[in-house]
Structure 1
Amino acid sequence: MEGSAVTKGKYGVPLERSDYLELPPHPDHCTEDNFSEWVARHKGQRLAADLFTGAGGLSLGIQEAGWTIAAGVDFDPRALETHAHNFPGMSLPMDLGDPEVRDRLVALLKEAKIDLVAGGPPCQPFSRAGRSKIRDLVRNHGRDPQDHRKQLWQAYLDVVTRVQPRAVLMENVPDMGLGDDFAVVRIIEEKLEDLGYATQVRLVDAWHYGVPQHRKRLILLARNDIERFDWEPKAERDVTLREAIADLPRFDVKARERVGARELPYQEPENPSDFIALMRAQAPTGSIHDHMTRRVRQDDLEIFSGMTSTTLYSQIPAELRRYRADNFTDKYKRLDWDKRSRSITAHIAKDGYWYIHPEDNRTLTVREAARIQTFPDRFRFAGTRSDAFRQIGNAVPPLLGKAAAAAVAPVEGVESGRRLAPHWRSVRQELSDWAEAARDRETWFHYPGPEMKSPQAAVMALLSGSRLRANELRGIMETMRGKKGVTARLFEQLLGQAPTVSAREKLGRLKPLVDDRYAWREANQYDVPEALGFKPAEEALYTLLLGDQDLLLITQGVLRVGARVNDSEADRTNKLTDGRVNLIRLVGAGTNASLRMAALRVIGNEYCTAQKPHCSLPNRKCPLLKHCLGKPAEDDLYSVSFGDDAAGGLT
């Protein structure tokens, strides 16, 4: 690593800044000034734009799936240099949080016929209290100069809205959804559906598409030509670390000595794995680039030499540990040749202790990390070694990007811009209609609506775990109907109506707010759960019934409905991830999202039971029955007459 800067530090090895790899632009690179000429040369090709592109993992996947990259946009100069070297078209340094910059980008993209807009915008979850404002903002105009830097997904959606490509591909980590009940995802879906796109959200395990690591990503797809998303079949087995990197040169590691180099001799294996053959395609014969990593400390060399793939940090000799074993249970991890790697993240740029080579006493090299992310050996990364690690860790694995892009490939003979009426939008509308009809009957108290205020929601939340008959619950809630608070007289009346000791005890918890006329006002309604000591499930139901926050109410019954309608097993496995994705297709976003969520609770409790579901009741049937892909056979249904209780909202 000629030209490296080396200084001494307290870490036991020279602190080394590697040489800077400067990369020339791609031969078919262009700028804003000559983009029109570039477009003319590529007339008839399927063009794509990648926003928040980073080094270009998603761009590479899209390219491999049949598109030509017309533009990549990012704010990281190192990543843009990498992108400009590896791809044709423009690599633009733009802050898309700035509306004027977005205007410039949209004007450029409108010079071409952009078929696909892709990207992985940073998506910070936002609080429930802010969801209504954000949702209205996106629906109405999508541009907020006061908040544009914090919520860059709005910038992404703004570009999509104005460019109107045939297809959209958005990628992010699952935590984007889990942090706020998938509110951002649902709002984006709603906006895309308003524009006439069919959408699909999936949580995808990258190893299903040939990526040799544990990595789960959230993929949102949209298209306006046909409502179909044809994913490749999942791989029957995963690619192991041995199949991914065992051909790369090995090192006799010594403490404090350099490990690897920018370029090393490479011996092509006689019988390469399919994965290695894919990685070596178009790579220079007889050499390997960027096979280098950090120097190794003396104490780390001792630690690494005593580790296997199952060694915990707490099992490392105490005198060699630099971190507390109780706080850093997995600080060091030696990888296993015969398993997948752990997920490569940007943290690898800071240290490689999570990624210790299966045999060599060192951490992974840049090239090994790139291979595990499925960047082929011909792909180079601009900047220093740390720059390369960061770009690799932040990237979408190209093979995953290719699989996602292939699912929105154009269909021959089908034109875009058709303004589709998506299936799930129709399902949600039917569910809303059913819930509105049920709310207008005597079971109003199961749903958010005009008569459901803080006192009514509190009583329902308190009684949610009681095994009351439908007529018993109905009687109590009729007593609460129209009440603006809980007076001492009403409190005694409710206790007198309680049919069981358990119900009386639950209603007795209202006592702290009896005769408190201020506590029940709308301005104070979200203080009620704390004042009454609500448990998390009670608070969730209370909040849902108030109706102004798009939360997901996660119960076993609701998960069961989502799983059966989608014909999945997510009510039994991956409940909080895939189970929630099933739900968001039914709940959606917007004015009636809370109403649909409440309806799913009723359906899960009363129709879609675990054994012998009541898909059809006398004079009523489950509103999702005709859409239910996993509905049971007739022999598995339970037929019974419920009389008047079949009017919706049984308990």
Structure 2
Amino acid sequence: MRRQHYEVPLERSDYLELKRHRNSCKPENFGKWLGGFGAGKRLAVDLFSGAGGLSLGLERAGWTVAAAVDFDERALQTHAANFPGMSLHMDLGNPDERDRLVEMLAPAKIDLVAGGPPCQPFSRAGRSKIRSLVEHHGRDPHDRRKELWSAYLDVVKRLRPRAVLMENVPDMGLGDDFFVVRTIEEQLEDLGYATQVRLVDAWKYGVPQHRKRLILLARNDVERFSWRQELEHDQRTTLRDAIGDLPVLSVVPTERVGQRELPYDEPSELSKFAQDMRKRARKDRVWDHMTRRVRKDDAEIFSSMDSKTLYSEISPELQRYKADHFTDKYKKLDWADLSRSITAHIAKDGYWYIHPDQDQPRTLTVREAARVQTFPDKFRFAGTRSDAFRQIGNAVPPLLGEAAAEALLPVGDEQPSEGGLQPHWRTVRRDLTAWAEGRRESEDWYQLPGEQMSGLQAAVVAILSGTRIQPAQLAEMVEVVRGRTSLSKAALEALTAAAPSEAAKARVARLAAVIGKSSVWGDEEQVREQLKLKPAEATVYRLLVGEDLLWVGQGALRVAARLHGSDSDRTNRLSDGRVDLVKLVGAGEDAPLRMAALRLIGSSFCRAKEPLCELCPLSKYCVARESVSGDLFTDALTGTHGRETVPTRTREPGRTAGRR
């Protein structure tokens, strides 16, 4: 054991070997397992399982994990010790390995495929490649290591389970306009699955930490996703509820903190959460309540902090890092609040997870981190202390997995239909596409991508998009350049003459930079630079030339929110608002057309006040119609001649209006 210059021993903890679960099995005796322990059980497969956080959630919800697959050997040792079935070391990026897995599972009736494939956001430049990968089952050897979501989808397509559950970080969707998520949903809908995407705050399902995750659900028996009631703020599990019963550890700087095994004395009052965590654990013992040694200066710092202390507020003589670069280097947790999100970074250092007790100047232990992730005390982690921290940080919180899985439980005796489901939102998108195609051939051609829309017309609309110009005036201006693929001086003069205001003329003047430059229009980046397009203008331009993206404007968000019966256009616009929008935009060649159509509907019919519902092509699907108040709304529905046009109210199955 060597020492660093600041006299803290660098130690590697002992290696914990775990025995396999008594009902685990290997591929060679899987058939026997199916006829024995697995007989009559609802079976699931967990891909990219890690240590088994999602597996435990599935188990709590009523499934038995027949097979878990991962490439991390330590995590698989943990899984094999805590679960029955097969824990398989496989590289799912390899098509041959997927073939082997599907063949292995052929004798089983798999009800659910779950998993959290690593999903990196993809640039727009690579999206045609992604579509090719999906269509060919991800069998491109150059991309198989990166597009593991495509490997996940390949297994789903070949096993055809009744239900599908995919979990990932929100960045998977927010980083690329939900392109990958939309693509996966489209592929599942093609197979007859109804789908749902939600951004879920884990604390609302009992997890004692700030953690937001993206959940994609799919099923082919019924179009219903019934989530349990979310917890209110005053019902959340606090850090004291989560770990307050664990033994107090004596902290002596530079000395070992905690042990693999310590006595446990249950307090007279135990939180409901702690009671759940202690089930089937040894009554008088707690395992893995240990963490890193503490430096002398860190012990002093930890003791002087509270949950609101910033690193810059620590005594300068104790600071080892530049305070302007490491503003959140240290974070002391609060007994009365949630923990910050437990991530795999906790395996490197615990400065984000300083224990809230002033008398315990240390970072969280393995057991405390496991509790915050909602692993029960009976759950052990194979390997060293750092291995355990990494497995815990990479895991899906089991209580979140349980809540998501419950939404996929069978409903009565419903069985998958032969032809699959025709999901509600697929029908909505079909009608939206048909309406948009018709409007593209009418006076609204300049608002929608299509054959008539060249880069020049898109640029004119884009640079005028922020002005208070009336639709009729904009249409008149775009008519000046209709059919043109480049701009002449005479056309610019005609555009300027048609501009109804000085502000509009100033916008049009920017087009002088591209007079006679026909080559510019083939490069969006050149268009943006030459015309000095602002971000919002560039987005409109890209949308109108047919690029697949989400236009997160207020009008489109309002349409999506009203159809879902939510308030996502007013709260959480950039997260929940986008999720609602995704259902209407979908994926495929017509996605840009639908996105532009929603922009048009939001500005023309689905207005914030006095909505013209009788003219809206999506009115019959609108959940929020009944909540729009005022006589003007009624007038809009009945018309001046009293014609009643209110269709039957519809709502997404399993969703409550106004609640996410």
Moved more, 140-149 or 578-587: 140-149
Query: Residue 137 of structure 2 contacts residue 150 of structure 2 at CA under 8 Å; is this kept in 1?
Result: no
Report the counterpart of residue 648 of structure 1 in structure 2: none
Letter of the structure 2 residue corresponding to residue 533 of structure 1: K
| Alignment match, 1:121 | 117
Q: Are the aligned partners of 1:38 and 1:89 in contact in 2 as well (CA < 8 Å)?
A: yes
C-alpha deviation, 1:141, in angstroms: 4.3
Which residue is equivalent to 1:443? 444
Alignment of 1:134-533 (within 5 A): 134-139=130-135, 141-236=137-232, 237-359=235-357, 360-418=360-418, 419-520=420-521, 522=522, 524-533=523-532
Structure 2 Cα separation of the partners of residues 511 and 10 of structure 1 = 65
Hey, what does 1:67 align to over in structure 2?
63
Match for 2:48 among 33, 47, 52? 52
* Equivalent of 1:622 in 598, 602, 616: 616
Deviation at 1:132?
2.7
- Stretches of structure 1 lacking an aligned partner (at least 5 in a row): 1-5, 643-651
Per-residue CA deviation, residues 279-324 of structure 1 (Å, 9 max, x unaligned), is 0000011000000000000110110111111111111001111111
Distance 1:529 1:142 in 2: 34
- In the TM superposition, what is the alpha-carbon distance from 1:633 to its structure 2 partner? 4.1
Aligned pairs, how many? 630
Provide, for residues 308-346 of structure 1, a one-character-per-residue CA deviation record: whole Å limited to 9, x for no partner: 111111110011111111111111111111111111111
Q: Are the aligned partners of 1:49 and 1:117 in contact in 2 as well (CA < 8 Å)?
A: yes
Query: Where does residue 543 of structure 2 map in the other structure?
Result: 544
How far did 1:519 drift? Answer: 1.6
Q: 2:3 aligns with which of 3, 8, 30?
A: 8
Post-superposition shift, 1:43? 2.3
8 Å contact from structure 1 (residues 264, 291) kept in 2: yes
Work out the CA distance in 2 between the residues paired with 1:453 and 1:526: 16
**CA distance in structure 2 between the aligned counterparts of 1:399 and 1:573, rounded to whole angstroms:** 26
- Larger deviation, residues 86-95 vs 498-507: 498-507
Say if 2:28 is the partner of 1:33.
Answer: yes
Letter in 2 for 1:477: V
- d(CA) in 2 for partners of 1:279, 1:287: 13
Residues 197-240 of structure 1: per-residue CA shift (max 9 Å, x gap): 00000001101111011111000000000000011111231001
Deviation track 1:223-282 (CA, whole Å, cap 9, x = no partner) reads: 000000011111231001111111100122111111100000000222211101000000
Could you state the TM-score of these two structures normalised by the residue count of structure 1? 0.95
Q: Shift of the alpha carbon at 1:146?
A: 2.1
Tell me, yes or no, if the aligned pair for 1:614 and 1:639 is still in contact at 8 Å: no
Alpha-carbon distance between aligned partners in 2 of 1:293 and 1:149, rounded to the nearest angstrom: 34
Q: CA deviation at 1:552?
A: 0.3
Alignment-derived partner of residue 17 in structure 1:
12
Contact 2:74–2:387 (CA<8 Å) still a contact in 1? Answer: yes
The residue matched to 2:461 in structure 1 has which SS? helix
Report the AA paired with residue 537 of structure 1.
A
Q: Do the aligned partners of 1:613 and 1:638 also contact (CA within 8 Å) in 2? A: no
Preserved contact between residue 138 and residue 144 of structure 2 (Cα < 8 Å): no
Pairwise CA distance, 1:33: 1.1
Q: Determine the C-alpha separation between the residues in 1 that align with 2:436 and 2:128.
A: 21
CA distance in 1, matches of 2:405, 2:354: 32
- CA separation in 2, counterparts of 1:461 and 1:12? 62
Q: Within 1, Cα distance between the matches of 2:135 and 2:475?
A: 38
**Distance in 2 of aligned mates of 1:614 and 1:140:** 44
SS at match of 2:224: coil
Q: Deviations over 1:374-403 (max 9, x none)?
A: 000000000000000000000000000000
Of 108-117 and 131-140, more deviation after overlay is shown by: 131-140
Equivalent pairs: percent with the same residue? 62
**1:421 is matched by which residue type in structure 2?**
Q
Counterpart secondary structure, 2:572: coil
**Alignment root-mean-square deviation, CA:** 1.4
Preserved contact between residue 557 and residue 601 of structure 1 (Cα < 8 Å) = yes
> Comparing 458-467 with 580-589, which one deviates more in the overlay?
458-467
| Change in CA separation of 1:32 and 1:583 when aligned onto 2, cut-off 3 Å | same
Distance 1:636 1:311, change over 3 A: farther
Q: What residue identity is the alignment partner of 1:485?
A: S
Q: Which residue of 1 aligns with 2:87?
A: 91
> What is the TM-score normalised by the length of structure 2?
0.94
The gaps in structure 2 that reach 5 residues or longer are 641-660
Give the C-alpha shift of residue 526 in structure 1.
4.0
Q: CA-to-partner distance for each residue in 1:583-629, whole Å, 9 max, x for gaps?
A: 0011011111111100111111121212222222xxxx111211111
Aligned counterpart for 1:606 among listed residues 589, 596, 604: 604
Cα displacement (A) at 1:44: 1.8
Could you tell me how far 1:11 is from its partner in structure 2?
A: 4.5
Q: Tell me if structure 2 keeps the 8 A contact 1:212–1:340.
A: yes
Q: Partners of 2:236 and 2:390 in 1: how far apart?
A: 25
Matched to 1:247, the amino acid is D
